[in-house]
Amino acid sequence: MKKTIVSLLITIAFGIFLSGCGESNVSTATSLERLEKYSTIAIVCAPQAGASPDYASVILEQVQKMAPSRLGMSLKKVTCVKDASIDLSSSTPVVNFPGKEEYDGIVCLLYGYNKGLVTMDIKMLDNGTGKEIWSHQLATKDIDVRGRLNRHGYWVPTTLKMHFYKKK
């Protein structure tokens, strides 16, 4: 019971951070440009070195649940792609999957964990150029890796909405 209450309080505090204190510094003009230029996005997920690939589907399931309510009203198309190949051998991920050309932007979720710190790097790639145009990191100390990655997945659509697209 105590663990549930603590977890709930942490989730509420994180939500408050995302809704106010974590205000984006993106200008209105940039926000409108991004909404127009990146109105169709694919979201893919991969483990960083040393992390289990088994968590990718758990993360994408959470993203898929939250994406319609957080991003669906602003964007034309948001799709979670489970069968993407993601090459992490360079600093910018290289993503491939059938139908990739249908999207303006590719969001790469790259997760890892080490010594109790669970991280998720969110990287927006321009699908036309392949260049990284924005990144953000979610990082939390937590011994429950699966649970934390699940919660990070839950917050991805809100993070994109508030920090990349700057929409409340």
Annotated domain spans of the chain: 37-164
Q: Mean pLDDT in the chain?
A: 87
For 87, other C-beta atoms within 10 Å of its C-beta total 11
What is 37-164's CATH number?
Answer: 3.30.160
153 neighbors 59 (Cβ within 8 angstroms)? yes
Provide the pLDDT confidence category of residue 3 given band limits of 50, 70 and 90.
low
**The pLDDT of residue 66:** 95
Section 31-52 average pLDDT: 95
pTM of the model: 0.83
Q: Which residue has the higher pLDDT, 60 or 15?
A: 60
Confidence of residue 2 (pLDDT cuts 50, 70, 90): low
9 has pLDDT over 90: no
pLDDT at 8 over 70: no
Structure tokens at 128: 């036309």
